[in-house]
Structure 1
């Protein structure tokens, strides 16, 4: 039986419904009969996203390491060496872990989505199912970004299997990339319709978190009109604001979920009890932990002297690398009570999506206004560019703003640009040209062995 049809259990404990702590014991196939059980199952969905195999470390790390923002220091603990050299195989650990854990999240979300509670509070059920639809869409988007050709390159290419109901005997084939994106957009639309506008804090999916993530999905489809519409909706109606230049570094040092709608739209909560220990995201960057991954000199040099974003990159030394540019966006590795939450989408990204969509649909004036709204809070001079140069400026700001959050690799792949890495990378992996099969992660060998209907990506 493949991972797509594997059974799973949600964890159990005794917290109250309103506290929203994971406490469910809801086996696959068992009926959810109360609001409390549905909330418990949804808490299990969120808990499944926390693991280091997905959002807790691998997704944000690989989104930079597979591109030109970071590299593995010569002195290292042996982690991510295959990604640093682009030498993955179908048996490599990280793709397998990511595939399995993202499908576990999808299976957990499906429990909530497919539950029937005719006598429960309709608003509560609608909210929880909306959250589950949004998480399912997010998980599918990560899968199709890592394991398939970009929509903008070949929408008819093999994507990933769409699984919306539990069937332990299922052996699903890969849907096309276009079919997967259709499912993603539909799920975000359902989520937006079903949820209320507010959330207790950014560690729970909300109406405008779903809309922001939908704008991201449209951008990856090259559907700039719909990306613009969705992003503008978040700007006009979401109630979010940018973190100011004066508070930028403090924002990244904050160890608890954001509840004031400043910057964070959706994040995954990590705390003293529920965390990844030595596998935490901070530990791979912090020189007091593994400290394996450094920012490239090329990235560091893109920032101007007054850019506040330099405040989360330290200049030091690492195993003979001097200067070593040390990532400090995640600074709570040793915090005894809390850890660094994982930012999944921020308001800054929504503005960058909006600016790019505006520029690509011929509205340079609005794109400039949107871009300059962001850079005004980052200590960067206002832009005056137009046309192709404006698009390049937006992409450069995207690289600088979202560095170390897992976006750079996906930007290069969706735009079908070569991955040009620096001399700090191994020589055999400094240029990953357009069309190189190594740009796509391998389908795990275990999945291939278990499911005869799954096909492998080229050259694995």
Structure 2
């Protein structure tokens, strides 16, 4: 991709409100046997559907990835009246036999296996085949990115540390050692760059397109601290993807819609759930809704960041639990919808805009960074006068707005990790019980998960993370 410039940045922002609001239901992906032979385009498409369905797993994007990204930090807490789910994550007491840890590892590699079968299928290249292989490369990169985040030190801490094993070919006898963090990132980059060239079709937000690959490249470069590339790829999405941000009151209807879309409003890629393909009472919405488990509640610290005129504040509603007034997360309101369930947003346009804002700041263009930050914030809060900050304070303002925008989507903890900051939970209003740690230092081995015992039992070439 040619390097983009920032000169056209402000003129592109008109795309934010130019999107249609018509929604389109898409046929959900369905699971298929892993051993089904891929011999033609039809069988490849079936295998791709199965690959997508694997992402729905409860301890992948079905619930645990978005929950952990907020619960390990300070956006949500568990009510004293709870179903005993995610207590180890909440208290940083996970061990190598933890169910979420084991299932996240196994589920991630299960989807990678499905992607590998598609990528390595010996079928002559054409537009359809290339598209499907591009989708598989993107999903493989996405899974490796999540695995290396959860199970290995951050790239900025030590790129030569043990990452996760790279498995790119099917071999039932393979016992791979852990590749370095840098090697895993290199594979993610290679997959996404290849996918960007292969992807030519647009099939709606529940399927991978070239701008899904571009957006994930921007996210990956942000995590690496490669700000030039983060700028270039986020700007490519902004200038060429024709996506828009939902302004004002339409943000509430956006989150109330449970279906995948083709109107390019906000959603770049999401995991599709419907009446057939869903996790039932184990879905993400059920964990937030008081009609469901309702265990996870928004912290007062987060809620108090929103002004009274910020529409995002309306995605958190007052409630009562165990006789206590609480803030209930309402970003996933379709818990009891008999026909559809809330999709899980993997990447939204607003996130890509925040990547661009931070990249602009990091590269010394504070003027465009604050201008873009103000335009995006004022789409959420029409009464917001705008930031005038510079330097370190501007960076803090960027992080604050990013936290407010992406709350309950699984990003908060990883922002603290990539920034090298401790988790510090504000307990001034008594959200946390006495036994819950209020800090997770940067030096703690609990910043990452242990390698599952099930993996260690069958693969002597994999070593456990320090501290477990």
Distance 1:112 1:64 in 2: 33
Task: Kindly indicate whether the alpha-carbon contact (under 8 Å) linking 2:29 and 2:53 is maintained by their aligned counterparts in 1.
Answer: no
How is 1:26-175 mapped onto 2 (pairs within 5 angstroms)?
26-27=34-35, 31-118=37-124, 122-175=126-179
Task: Confirm whether residue 242 of structure 1 aligns to residue 245 of structure 2.
Answer: yes
The counterpart of 1:362, out of the listed 348, 361, 364, is: 364
Task: Confirm whether residue 425 of structure 1 aligns to residue 432 of structure 2.
Answer: yes
Task: Kindly indicate whether the alpha-carbon contact (under 8 Å) linking 2:153 and 2:161 is maintained by their aligned counterparts in 1.
Answer: yes
Task: Kindly indicate whether the alpha-carbon contact (under 8 Å) linking 1:96 and 1:444 is maintained by their aligned counterparts in 2.
Answer: yes
Shift of 1:134: 0.5
Shift of 1:422: 2.6
Tell me which residue corresponds to 1:5.
Answer: none
Tell me which residue corresponds to 2:445.
Answer: 437
Shift of 1:200: 2.1
Distance 2:33 2:448 in 1: 36
Task: Kindly indicate whether the alpha-carbon contact (under 8 Å) linking 2:28 and 2:273 is maintained by their aligned counterparts in 1.
Answer: no
Distance 1:115 1:168 in 2: 17
SS at 1:340 equivalent:
coil
After superposition, the C-alpha distances for 1:290-311 in whole angstroms (9 at most, x for unaligned) are 0000011100111111110011
Task: Kindly indicate whether the alpha-carbon contact (under 8 Å) linking 1:201 and 1:258 is maintained by their aligned counterparts in 2.
Answer: yes
After superposition, the C-alpha distances for 1:52-71 in whole angstroms (9 at most, x for unaligned) are 11101000000000000001
Task: Kindly indicate whether the alpha-carbon contact (under 8 Å) linking 1:26 and 1:32 is maintained by their aligned counterparts in 2.
Answer: no
After superposition, the C-alpha distances for 1:57-105 in whole angstroms (9 at most, x for unaligned) are 0000000000000010011111111111111111111111111001101
Tell me which residue corresponds to 2:403.
Answer: 399
Distance 1:265 1:286 in 2: 25
Distance 2:290 2:464 in 1: 38
Distance 2:424 2:28 in 1: 44
CA RMSD across the alignment? 1.3
Distance 1:103 1:215 in 2: 23
Shift of 1:316: 1.5
How is 1:175-254 mapped onto 2 (pairs within 5 angstroms)?
175-196=179-200, 198-254=201-257
Shift of 1:256: 0.5
TM-score between the two structures when normalised by the length of structure 1: 0.93
Larger CA deviation: 79-88 vs 344-353? 79-88
Task: Kindly indicate whether the alpha-carbon contact (under 8 Å) linking 2:189 and 2:217 is maintained by their aligned counterparts in 1.
Answer: yes
SS at 1:435 equivalent:
coil
Distance 1:20 1:258 in 2: 12
Tell me which residue corresponds to 2:9.
Answer: none
Task: Confirm whether residue 455 of structure 1 aligns to residue 459 of structure 2.
Answer: no
Shift of 1:421: 1.1
Tell me which residue corresponds to 1:11.
Answer: none
Tell me which residue corresponds to 2:13.
Answer: none
Residue ranges of structure 1 left out of the alignment (5+ in a row): 1-17
Distance 1:91 1:23 in 2: 27
Distance 1:394 1:291 in 2: 30
Shift of 1:21: 4.1
TM-score between the two structures when normalised by the length of structure 2: 0.91
SS at 1:265 equivalent:
strand
Distance 2:111 2:298 in 1: 30
Distance 2:31 2:343 in 1: 20
Residue ranges of structure 2 left out of the alignment (5+ in a row): 1-25
SS at 1:325 equivalent:
strand
Residues 31 and 273 (structure 1), Cα distance of their counterparts in 2 relative to 1, 3 Å cut: closer
After superposition, the C-alpha distances for 1:171-196 in whole angstroms (9 at most, x for unaligned) are 10111111111111111101101001
After superposition, the C-alpha distances for 1:349-401 in whole angstroms (9 at most, x for unaligned) are 00000000110110101111221221121104322211211111111111100
Residues 131 and 55 (structure 1), Cα distance of their counterparts in 2 relative to 1, 3 Å cut: same
Task: Kindly indicate whether the alpha-carbon contact (under 8 Å) linking 2:206 and 2:271 is maintained by their aligned counterparts in 1.
Answer: yes
Task: Kindly indicate whether the alpha-carbon contact (under 8 Å) linking 1:85 and 1:426 is maintained by their aligned counterparts in 2.
Answer: no
Task: Kindly indicate whether the alpha-carbon contact (under 8 Å) linking 1:24 and 1:37 is maintained by their aligned counterparts in 2.
Answer: no
SS at 1:171 equivalent:
coil
Shift of 1:114: 0.4
Residues 159 and 23 (structure 1), Cα distance of their counterparts in 2 relative to 1, 3 Å cut: closer
Distance 1:246 1:76 in 2: 33
Shift of 1:219: 0.3
Distance 2:203 2:459 in 1: 41
- Equivalenced residues, count: 437
Task: Give runs of ≥4 in structure 1 deviating > 3 Å.
Answer: 18-21, 23-26
